[in-house]
C-alpha cells in the first residue's frame, strides 16, 4: 500500500517544472522533500495530492492508477489523501465547522441539510473532530471563530482539519515555515504521532534540520529532478551524489 508517482511530468505552458519524477511513499513513514525554492516541491505535492493531472506518467494510490480510473473511483481514492498548506486556509467560520468539513463532504446531502436544522440534526461534535483537535492541543477552542485564532493556532487547526477524516496519506507544504518554534514543535510532534497510526506523510520543507528531526527518508529535489532519496541518516551523513553534499553544506545557492 503506497502513494506513488512514476515518471510524472508537469509543464505550465513553456515552463517545464519536472520531466520524469518518481517517488513512493509507504504507509507509516515520513518522507521529507527538501530542496531550494523553485525546485518543484509544491508542484510535486500538488501532483501527489491529485490536484492536477500530470502531462505524463502515472499517479497511483494503493495500486489504483488515478487518472485512468473512473471519476467515482478517483474521488474515493482522492479522499484518502489529505493536505496541509503553508497558509492555514481556514474557512471563515468556527474551528469546529472547519475540522468537521472533511467528514461533512463525505456525508449525503440529505444528512448535511438535516444537520443544519437545530432540533432534528446531530449537533454534538463527532469524536474524530475532538480527537484531531486534541492531537494539537486545540480541543478547548472548538467553538471559537477562526478570526480570533493566532497564526500558530490557525495552523494547528488546519492540521486537525486534515486529520479528522482519517486520511491514509498526508501531504504538508512547508507547514511550519510561518510558525514560531513552539507551534513548530506541536505540528512536528503531531506529524510523528499521526504516522505511528499507519499514515504515510510527505513534508516539503526547506528546513534541513526539520527533515532530520522528523523524517524516516529524505528526497532532495533540485531543478525538477530527484537527485537523491534515502534514509535520513544516510543521506545527511554519507550522501551519494556530490550535489547533495553541496546542498547540505549550503554551497548550492539559488
Partner 1 sequence: MITALLSDGYIWSIIRVSLYVSLTAIALSAVLSLPIALIVGVTEFRGKRLLNAIITTGMGFPSVVVGLLVLFAVSNQGPLGPLNLVFTPEAMILSQIVLAAPVITGISLSAIDSVDGGIRDAAYAMGGTRLDVAVVTIKEAKYGIATGILAGFGRAISEVGSVLIVGGNIVSDGSSYTRTLTTAIQLEARQGQFETALVLGAVLLVLVLSVNAIVIRLGSGGGRSR
- Contact call for residue 85 and partner 1 (CB under 8 A): yes
Cell 468556527 belongs to residue = 94
Nearer to partner 1, 32 or 50 (CB): 50
Kind and range of the H or E element at 20?
strand 15-26
Per rule CB under 8 A, count of chain residues that contact partner 1: 26
On whether the CB atoms of residues 32 and 233 are closer than 8 A, the answer is no
On whether the CB atoms of residues 163 and 83 are closer than 8 A, the answer is no
Find residue 32's DSSP bridge partners. 203, 218
**How many C-alpha atoms does 227 have within 13 Å on its Cβ side?**
23
Q: Tell me the per-residue interface mask from 29 to 48 with partner 1, x by CB under 8 A, - otherwise.
A: --------------------
Nearer to partner 1, 124 or 237 (CB): 124
**Distance of alpha carbon 254 from alpha carbon 250, whole angstroms:** 10
- Contact call for residue 239 and partner 1 (CB under 8 A): no
* Min dist. Cβ of residue 244 to partner 1 (A): 30
Helices 127-135 and 181-196 meet at what angle, rounded to 10?
Answer: 130
- Contact call for residue 187 and partner 1 (CB under 8 A): no
Q: Which three cell numbers stand for residue 59?
A: 499517479
* Min dist. Cβ of residue 167 to partner 1 (A): 9
On whether the CB atoms of residues 200 and 48 are closer than 8 A, the answer is no
Binder among 3, 33, 39, 101 for partner 1 (CB under 8 A): 101
- Within residues 107-166, the interface with partner 1 by CB under 8 A covers 145, 158, 161-162, 165
**Among 4-12, 16-24, 74-82, 200-208, the segment contacting partner 1 (CB under 8 A):** 74-82
* 47: CB partners within 8 A, 6+ apart: 5, 8, 10, 54, 59
Binder among 55, 62, 87, 198 for partner 1 (CB under 8 A): 87
| Closest to 31 (Cα-Cα) out of 224, 221, 223, 237 | 221
- Contact call for residue 236 and partner 1 (CB under 8 A): no
* Min dist. Cβ of residue 242 to partner 1 (A): 36
* Min dist. Cβ of residue 101 to partner 1 (A): 5
- Contact call for residue 82 and partner 1 (CB under 8 A): yes
Which parts of this chain interact with partner 1 (CB under 8 A)? 49, 51, 75, 78-79, 81-83, 85, 87, 89-94, 97, 101-102, 105-106, 145, 158, 161-162, 165
Amino acid at each position: 500500500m503506497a502513494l506513488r508517482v512514476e515518471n510524472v511530468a508537469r509543464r505550465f505552458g513553456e515552463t517545464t517544472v519536472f520531466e520524469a519524477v518518481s517517488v513512493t511513499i509507504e504507509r507509516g513513514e515520513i518522507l521529507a522533500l527538501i530542496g531550494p525554492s523553485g525546485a518543484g516541491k509544491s508542484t510535486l505535492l500538488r501532483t501527489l495530492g491529485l490536484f492536477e493531472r500530470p502531462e505524463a506518467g502515472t499517479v497511483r494510490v494503493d495500486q489504483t492508477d488515478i487518472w485512468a480510473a473512473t471519476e467515482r473511483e478517483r474521488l474515493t481514492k482522492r479522499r484518502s489523501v489529505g493536505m496541509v498548506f503553508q497558509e492555514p486556509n481556514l474557512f471563515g467560520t468556527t474551528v469546529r465547522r472547519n475540522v468537521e468539513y472533511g467528514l461533512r463532504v463525505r456525508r449525503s446531502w440529505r444528512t448535511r441539510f438535516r444537520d443544519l436544522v437545530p432540533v432534528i440534526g446531530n449537533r454534538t461534535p463527532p469524536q474524530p473532530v475532538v480527537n484531531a483537535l486534541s492531537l494539537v492541543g486545540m480541543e478547548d477552542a472548538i467553538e471559537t471563530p477562526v478570526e480570533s485564532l493566532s497564526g500558530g493556532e490557525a495552523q494547528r487547526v488546519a492540521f486537525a482539519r486534515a486529520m479528522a477524516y482519517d486520511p491514509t496519506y498526508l501531504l504538508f507544504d512547508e507547514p511550519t515555515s510561518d510558525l514560531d518554534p513552539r507551534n513548530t514543535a506541536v505540528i512536528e510532534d503531531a506529524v510523528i504521532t499521526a504516522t505511528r497510526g499507519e499514515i504515510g506523510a510527505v513534508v516539503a520543507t526547506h528546513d534541513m534540520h526539520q527533515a532530520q528531526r522528523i523524517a524516516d527518508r529524505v528526497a532532495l529535489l533540485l531543478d525538477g529532478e530527484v537527485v537523491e532519496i534515502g534514509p535520513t541518516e544516510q543521506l545527511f551523513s554519507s550522501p551519494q551524489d556530490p550535489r547533495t553534499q553541496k546542498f547540505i553544506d549550503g554551497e548550492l545557492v539559488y
